[in-house]
Amino acid sequence: MIQIAILGFGVVGSGTAEVLTENKKLITERCGEEVSIKYILDLRDFPDHPLGNRVVHDINVILSDPEVVLVAEMMGGSHPAYEFTKAALEAGKHVVTSNKEVVANFGAELLSLAGRVGVSYLFEASVGGGIPIIRPMQTDLASNQILSVSGILNGTTNFILTKMKREGAAFSDALKEAQKNGYAEANPTADVEGLDAARKIVILAALAYGVSISPDSISTEGITRITSDHTATADKLGGAVKLIGHTERIRGKIYAAVSPYFVPASNPISHVDDVFNGILVDTDMLGRALFYGAGAGKLPTASAVVADIIDILSHRTAERRLPKWKRAEPADLADTADYACRRCYLFDGCPKCAEKAKKALGTEDCTFITDTKFAVISPVMTARDAALAIEQSGLTPIFVLPVLD
Amino acid sequence: MIQIAILGFGVVGSGTAEVLTENKKLITERCGEEVSIKYILDLRDFPDHPLGNRVVHDINVILSDPEVVLVAEMMGGSHPAYEFTKAALEAGKHVVTSNKEVVANFGAELLSLAGRVGVSYLFEASVGGGIPIIRPMQTDLASNQILSVSGILNGTTNFILTKMKREGAAFSDALKEAQKNGYAEANPTADVEGLDAARKIVILAALAYGVSISPDSISTEGITRITSDHTATADKLGGAVKLIGHTERIRGKIYAAVSPYFVPASNPISHVDDVFNGILVDTDMLGRALFYGAGAGKLPTASAVVADIIDILSHRTAERRLPKWKRAEPADLADTADYACRRCYLFDGCPKCAEKAKKALGTEDCTFITDTKFAVISPVMTARDAALAIEQSGLTPIFVLPVLD
């Protein structure tokens, strides 16, 4: 019998207990021993839950119990989750987590601490819910240089964008629908402003490049300014508007950002709809791999937490190579003006204006979306050159979206 | 310095040497030591290759050299690859392979042998080329029961079907195009008759259910009978015809088969085009996850071989839990007549015939594809019941395809 503790008995915490119970037989087989939840830490009591008698309110009960070999942290938020994680690692306990805020903000320090103590700190559930992405990037793609990672990392915004695309709904109506369905919270800021996706892309950037960037320091734009102009343009051009977290290296420095993109139909990410997530990893040897699935939700996320638990408990004697993340310094970060891609512009105007825009952007790729609005797609150019070209043309685009090719 | 040997210096074998050379720095970092190719076994000599001086023609040179800790087998074909693998494992060497024929036919025995000797036998590259699928199924999905696996497992046939869909090409012309592009071999039988996909689906079935079925014993149908009737129907209904390897449990027994399916646009697999592979794993906790990428090719496949090499060499001290596969007995296999799914039928005939077909199949789902041909989609029913319903109706469908929902 292996004793573990759960910190936080909310959606993912109770889901983790459910997965451990429902699939006890196969989990026991894979760990070589039965896994038992000895403690559940929460502010609340759960008198009616079958595991209600495991609830404690003091972290020290868990920290001081040598029987507890692993702690699963699913509290959400940075504090006190970070402090509890640190204390658990210091107490020699393995930690697994679904908490992207803690991993994004304190991952470098916690991984280094875990390495020094000789325990594991795993976080498969922190990005993409239940989708395998963290472990595959560290193992299956280990023979590759990561060229870039581009992902639909937030299910709420993808649900909203899918609704806007399919039904021509306005952003505010699609958001209300998402809230009604339980896909968006009453305060949807973290989702719709891209903050949640920002936390996830900095985790993926750290895995790809070994440099941990603060999510607050990257360029982050959400979907609140997406209108029917965007969706009509994407529809006409064949493709979709998606909120994308993207990271790549630019001349040895790291670029990471979150923003809406126009994704042409030829990119498999354009077909990732509803609340699903999809993460495209581009590498030097394998080329592109896409990981797709349920990016959130109780049991999917819990399934990833339990996969981490099994990974640790089935390899307890193994020396584990934890990734080493260096905290980013300003010199590690690329200038966002150097980010180069194709860009999709929508303009108001007549065929004569269209000629002017095409000339300014050096392209023949121009499509009239309505009688008086036309879209122009620029060749690959840096943000700096693109802004300059538009400024010199004297034209004012209705919008500009980077293109995810 | 860790010494390894490569068996077979064809496309994947030379690709593996290339990945090891190109990404030497990161591979050394991840393995903790430099990986060196001490021997290359091949019938041929490669005097002009930088590694030409490593070529040997006698397996015993490798087997008897205690410095060689790992053998990468990329010979293709069952013999002598199976014998060499067995001998290498018996000599206490780890083995990694891209050889699906050997894994599909002898995997159970070789895994058991590796377990007894205390070495590893890994085969990520045997299914889906470079796409992470074998390791994610064993680790990331370890907390889940696998409900089913459905995959586009052969890039050649997917290229041909994509060509037929996009350009209305006939099978024979699309095959010629694939051969011209190097995607199909001069003798394309193993690909177009579904034999290659059969080997891969039995490997995935063994991973999912622990039972290793001979690829020769499963129902296997290729794409040689696919015509413009199929593609026009799929196009009209919104979706695509795809060659699918599928496995699931039917009342505790294993069903595995390869055949063309109609895949509706709502299934993410319908968007996996060209030479790409896509594998959809349906599970009890996570739900559906899709793994997508380059299913073949020199460097993608080699990247998976090297990922296995890194996995082993970075965990040499760890006790590895290899999967235990039981060789399938007739009682383990489901009756194909019990396989239940929706089915798409195309019939010749008038509106009156359409009424008759709808009634026979108990559905209202009927679409005229041309003035005289109509498609009917049945509800979920077993192959047995579906065949009986058609027989009793007296109608003769032009084709019937299972539907992948």
Flag whether residue A132 sits within 8 Å of chain B, measured between CB atoms. Answer: yes
Flag whether residue B306 sits within 8 Å of chain A, measured between CB atoms. Answer: yes
Quick: pLDDT tens for B325-347.
999 999 999 999 999 999 999 99
Phi and psi at residue B129, in whole multiples of 5°? 50, -120
CA separation for the pair A216, A198 (Å, rounded): 8
CA distances from B133 to B162, B277, B300 (A): 23, 11, 13
Instruction: Give me the pLDDT at residue B52, please.
Output: 96
| ipTM metric | 0.94
Residues 6+ away with beta carbon under 8 Å from B107: B123, B203, B206, B212, B325
The catalytic site residues of A sit at 200
Chain B contact set for A19 (CB, 8 A): 143, 285
Residue type, B389: A
DSSP B29-72: HHHTS-EEEEEEE-SS--TTSTTGGGEES-HHHHHT-TTEEEEE
DSSP B284-329: SSS-EEEEEEE-S-HHHHHHHHHHHHHHHHTTTTSPP-----EEP-
Instruction: Give me the pLDDT at residue A104, please.
Output: 98
Instruction: Give me the pLDDT at residue B322, please.
Output: 87
For A81-202, strand residue ranges (E) read 94-97, 121-122, 146-152
CA separation for the pair A20, A16 (Å, rounded): 6
Quick: pLDDT tens for A52-79.
999 999 999 999 999 999 999 999 999 9
Of chain B, the percentage scoring pLDDT greater than 90 comes to 95
**Is the link from the previous residue into A268 a cis peptide, with omega within 30 of 0?**
no
Flag whether residue A370 sits within 8 Å of chain B, measured between CB atoms. Answer: no
Among A300, A314, A321, select the one facing B285 at the smallest CB separation. Answer: A300
Flag whether residue B323 sits within 8 Å of chain A, measured between CB atoms. Answer: no
The one catalytic residue in B200, B242, B298, B373 is B200
Residues 6+ away with beta carbon under 8 Å from B8: B41, B42, B73, B74, B75, B76, B81
Pairing of strands B253-264, B239-250: antiparallel
Instruction: Give me the pLDDT at residue B317, please.
Output: 62
Quick: pLDDT tens for A240-293.
999 999 999 999 999 999 999 999 999 999 999 999 999 999 999 999 999 999
Mean pLDDT across chain A, nearest whole number? 96
Residue in this structure with the two tokens 């903050």, named with its chain if needed: A195
Q: Are B114 and B322 a contacting pair, CB within 8 Å?
A: yes
Chain B contact set for A300 (CB, 8 A): 285-287
Q: Edge to edge, what strands does the sheet with B68-73 contain? A: B55-56, B35-41, B2-7, B68-73, B94-97, B121-122
Quick: pLDDT tens for A118-152.
999 999 999 999 999 999 999 999 999 999 999 99
Quick: pLDDT tens for A154-188.
999 999 999 999 999 999 999 999 999 888 888 99
Residue A320 has pLDDT above 80, yes or no: no
Chain B contact set for A303 (CB, 8 A): 141, 143-144, 283, 285-286
Q: Does the distance separating the beta carbons of A26 and B145 come in below 8 Å?
A: yes
Mean pLDDT across chain B, nearest whole number? 96
Residue type, A33: E
Residue A317 has pLDDT above 80, yes or no: no
**Is the link from the previous residue into A379 a cis peptide, with omega within 30 of 0?**
no
Q: Does the distance separating the beta carbons of B136 and A140 come in below 8 Å?
A: yes
Instruction: Give me the pLDDT at residue B182, please.
Output: 85
CA separation for the pair B77, B85 (Å, rounded): 12
Sign of CA dihedral B50, B54, B57, B63: negative
- B200 is an active site residue: yes
Instruction: Give me the pLDDT at residue A319, please.
Output: 66
Among B293, B299, B307, select the one facing A290 at the smallest CB separation. Answer: B293
Residue A316 has pLDDT above 80, yes or no: no
Flag whether residue A27 sits within 8 Å of chain B, measured between CB atoms. Answer: yes
Q: E strand or H helix at A220, and its extent?
A: strand A219-220
A 10 A CB-CB count for A346 gives 21
Instruction: Give me the pLDDT at residue A271, please.
Output: 94
CA separation for the pair A394, A390 (Å, rounded): 7
Residue B318 has pLDDT above 80, yes or no: no
